[in-house]
Chains A and B, each alone.
Chain A
Amino acid sequence: MPPPGLLNSLEAVTINVAAFLITMALFGVYVASLGHNPLDVYYVLWLGSFARQISVESTLTNAAPLMLTALCTAIPARAGLLVIGGEGALVVGGVATVLAGVALSGAPFLLGVAVMALAGALAGGLWIGFAGALRQYRGVNETISTLLLNYIAIAVMYHLITGPIRDWDRVLKTSSWSIPQELRVGPLPFIDVHWGLATGVVICLILWIIMRRTTFGFGVDILGGNPRAAQMAGLPINRMVVLCCFIGGAGAGLAGSFEVMAVHGFASESLAVGFGYAGILVAFLSRQNPAAIIVLAILLGGVTASGGLLQRRFDLPDATTQVLQGVLFLVVLASNAAYGRLSLFQPAAWRTT
């Protein structure tokens, strides 16, 4: 009899692959109804996302911020909270990075980058940690508070970049002061994707290990599964929830750091382009598993990357990829109902052999 852990993993993989195939089939029917050959569309999806080096680079560039913003929903969700504040935490992290970078003018590269990244992570972490604390100590629902905090973060950022920290020499776009050029982060070796990708992968793996192997991780899972059991076990629930929110927010804040350090060099409206909201999707698709986040962020990045080619080759609107993402999300959520229903993956099915 195979070990139950392996059965569980196989079950998850099978269900997710099936959900993906069902989504692609539904999408095929959809594009066929618009008069396109689904096979051609599948080929272009593949071409635009993984088939060439440029496609892979495009996919990974899109995936990089999503890995980090997904953590903002995934880690608190393991403790039973539904945080949707990744967009705001990313923005706050980006602004903090700019301020740190400007203050660090003249600092050595590694020190400067480390401090900027920490500033971004700290700002994002405090931002979402605040929502966690509000929930634990004041009873304020975290979904609503983080939604409101998104709007507030964006408004404050807009306010800052049009006044207090505006760089008036950038005539084409209202943007903040720039971080020093020598503190800008370049691309990874061998591939034209910025360092946010590597950082995202490493942090997701570290969190995966923490969540699986440490007492903190076990405690969080108990809390997420059954708060009453956690209380009876004497776990420091309030502190654990706030810490989970802090970790998640720090992830999204770090995404903001890399948008500033590696992509823009300054804060502007281009920080708030929906990475935070896409991260919610990634978090749910990966069922809050930090290792799975890596895979699903890449998958979703690929969908976005190939969207342009769908526009250019088939004249399909840009919203096509959004429809595809929405369908995928719905199918994956619905597939949750299949867990425990497939007898092949139940230990009982193997007992007779």
Chain B
Amino acid sequence: MTKSLISRRNFLRQSGGMVTAGAALGALPGLVAAMDNVTVGFIYVGPRQDYGWNQSHWDAAKKVAAIDGVTVVEQENVPETAEVEKVIQSMIELDGARVIFGTSFGYWDSLKKMALQYPDVLFTHIGAIWKEGDPANVIGYRGYTEEAHYLCGIAAGRMSKTGKIGFIGSKPLYFIYNNCNGFVLGAQSVNPEMTCNVVITGDWNNPVKEAETTNSLIDQGCDVIIANVDSPKVSVETAEARGVYTCGYHSDLSALAPNGFLTGAEWNWASGVEFVEAFVAGDSYPNLKRGGFKEDMVAISPFGDAVPQEVRDEVLAAKQGFIDDTLKLYKGPLEDNKGNVILEEGEVIENTDTPFKLGVDWFVKGTTG
């Protein structure tokens, strides 16, 4: 009982300070001196060796654990219910964690609530929808994987023989739409006639459905497949067995498809290391960090043997385009697959225009699904 009173008082003190702290940079409340030992808690929604989403965060956890004086504690398979709040409290109060990484979208509300209750603990969330008024001790960060999908699309457009590629999505959420659009636009940038069949499985993890979907897409003539599910392993292996090309997602899957692997869209969550270092040193940190290749927050997997040098060069040139900000993902003229005009000739959306991307709930022209 006393505990919640104290934290509420802290919250008032802190929210007063937040107004002066300003927009994007929050100073660490009550903490100026550097720390010697910090315990960092990582919370995963699934198993961390899943060759996918959770593994990409586990990779970051290993980098964080390598920082001097940092101990990492991890908990897997934490559902997005009241349980996650209790796990956070348990990590803070029983393990002494000072930084909490919540690596699933659905943790957001719980993280914000806990951030008010524990104002001197740093919380990070991978949804990157922090906005003015949210607690100052929360960081949202996330890479624009649609840029990496664009590069996969270039490789797919060059390698496809049928002119049809396939995209498997888990849930109808904004980043799935963006990733798919990136993939298709990349393919159309080298071959305007490319079309893409999209299937939403409706589940984050359902191997049977993913394998069945991969087979269906291949039966429809798609000869490059990318799967935006928690663990694309099944889809990559199924496509490899059917002798078509695949692109990876989340982490490096090249070893699973020695013949058909082109490249893959990967996260680079290493910014987490910066946040922890800043926290330990008592420095300030951004509340919101989004970025693509320019900010080094996404990556592509090593090319598969099937990809010839000229295609690799073309992909890497586009990557440089994102780094130099000369290449824009969304630019006019652009229509969605229902014939609505999204962008007029000459209209350009900045690659960092997060509000635009959050509102994407359509597929570009040439997409069936």
Which A residues contact B (CB, under 8 angstroms)? 47-48, 52-55, 57-58, 61-62, 158, 162, 168, 171-174, 190-192, 194, 259, 262-265, 268-270, 273, 304-305, 308-309, 311-312, 317-318
Contact = CB atoms under 8 A, between A and B. Distances in A.
Contacts of A192: 4
A-B pairs with the 9 shortest C-beta distances?
A172-B105, A58-B86, A312-B73, A318-B77, A273-B79, A270-B80, A263-B82, A172-B127, A54-B93
Given A52-B93, A54-B94, A174 B78 contact: no
A317 B49 CA distance: 12
A172 B171 CA distance: 10
Nearest to B107: A172
A173 B104 CA distance: 10
18 contacts: A48-B94, A54-B89, A54-B90, A55-B94, A58-B86, A58-B87, A58-B89, A61-B83, A171-B129, A172-B106, A174-B173, A262-B82, A270-B81, A304-B83, A308-B87, A311-B76, A317-B76, A318-B77
B79 A162 contact: no
A311 B75 contact: yes
B129 A172 contact: yes
B358 A308 contact: no
B202 interface: yes
For chain B, which range describes its interface: under 10, 10 to 19, 20 to 34, or 35 or more residues? 35 or more
A74 to B, nearest CB: 23
Contacts of B93: 52, 54
Contacts of A158: 202
B131 to A, nearest CB: 12
A259 B82 CA distance: 8
B295 interface: no
Contact of B74 (A58, A62, A273, A311): A311
Contacts of A62: 82-83, 86
A111 B358 CA distance: 36
Interface in B65-102: 73-83, 85-87, 89-91, 93-95
Given A47-B94, A54-B93, A172-B127, 9 more contacts: A52-B94, A54-B89, A57-B89, A173-B105, A263-B81, A263-B82, A309-B94, A312-B91, A318-B77
A36 to B, nearest CB: 17
B172 interface: yes
B75 A318 contact: yes
A190 B127 CA distance: 33
Nearest to B126: A172
B255 interface: no
Nearest to A158: B202
A264 B83 CA distance: 12
Given A308-B75, A309-B90, A173 B106 contact: yes
B74 A171 contact: no
B76 A318 contact: yes
Interface of B: 1, 3-4, 73-83, 85-87, 89-91, 93-95, 105-106, 108-109, 127, 129, 171-174, 202, 358, 361
A162 B94 CA distance: 38
A194 B3 contact: no
Contacts of B75: 308, 311-312, 318
A269 B105 CA distance: 12
B277 to A, nearest CB: 23
B84 to A, nearest CB: 10
Nearest to A307: B75
Given A268-B106, A270-B80, A312-B75, A171 B94 contact: no
A305 B86 contact: yes
B94 A172 contact: no
Contacts of B81: 259, 263-264, 270, 273
A162 B361 CA distance: 12
A194 B89 contact: no
A58 B172 CA distance: 33
B95 A312 contact: yes
Contacts of A194: 82
Contacts of B173: 171-174
Contact of A53 (B3, B129, B171): B3
Contact of A55 (B83, B90, B129): B90
Contacts of A57: 86, 89
A190 B1 contact: yes
Given A263-B82, A270-B79, A171 B174 contact: yes
B313 to A, nearest CB: 36
A155 B75 CA distance: 29
Contacts of A259: 81
A272 to B, nearest CB: 10
A352 B193 CA distance: 97
B159 to A, nearest CB: 33
Contacts of A61: 82-83, 85-86
B78 A308 contact: yes
A252 to B, nearest CB: 16
A191 B89 CA distance: 14
Contacts of A54: 86, 89-90, 93-94
A174 B171 contact: yes
A43 to B, nearest CB: 12
A280 to B, nearest CB: 18
